Amino acid sequence: MIETIHLTRSYQLGKNQLAVLNDINLSIAKGEKVFLCGPSGAGKTTLLYTLAGLERPQEGQVIIDGTDLYALSRTAQARFRNQRMGYIFQNYHLLPELTALENVMVPGAIGGHDQRDAAKAALERVGLQHRLDHLPTELSGGEQQRVAIARAIVHQPDLLFADEPTGNLDSRNSAAIMQLLLELVQENKSTLVVVTHDSTLAKKGDRLLTLQDGRLSL
């Protein structure tokens, strides 16, 4: 499903060049659940963004189901992401002026589709059928993350990326959210890539990868 070839990304820090991704070669199978760990600042989010088409590498390729992601035009990339991917952010990234239902309908609206019924079903699947008309400020952190998950899975994406999806939650909510996420991925037969600092949660996946000093250990 995902293959990276010689991915390289570095940042300029004063006079120094910091290699965040150093010749990353990686293969992830269809339906696999991969967890990515590593020390703070190791580049985990950079790698996730690069896999998801959100941050172009300086060198290398990301091949998704046979498509060279960064060979596409920006418009084609955006369409590809909208149709094939879901993304869950640590800080939820819900639009504050929209209700839970409207937030979950956003991917469909971007793609030119009315997904009201699918959005309702997704919110019901994450246990929020009674919160459809609530704004993000009226929801707890755990509920906001459930809305974010519903938004990411509403179109049943082939690929689901999650960046510290439990980072702002207590341990009880963290375990519940991760279990829900794994169940949804299993149901939809999606491929999952998760960045997490929680080694206990990371053991729930099929494979654990560690990023350190710009290199992956498998």
The pair of structure tokens assigned to 26 is 């990686």
Q: For residue 96, what are the CA distances in angstroms to 28, 102, 119? A: 35, 10, 17
pLDDT of residue 199: 81
Residue 9 near residue 46 (C-beta atoms within 8 A)? yes
Tens-digit pLDDT profile for the chain (218 aa)? Answer: 899 999 999 887 788 878 889 999 999 999 999 999 988 878 899 999 999 999 999 999 999 999 999 999 999 999 999 889 999 988 889 999 999 999 999 988 887 788 899 999 999 989 999 999 999 999 999 899 999 999 999 998 999 999 988 888 888 888 888 888 898 889 888 999 999 888 888 888 999 999 988 888 87
Q: What dihedral angle (degrees, nearest 10) is formed by the CA atoms of 56, 195, 208, 27? A: -20
CATH of domain 2-217: 3.40.50.300
Domain coordinates in residue numbering, the chain? 2-217
pLDDT of residue 13: 78
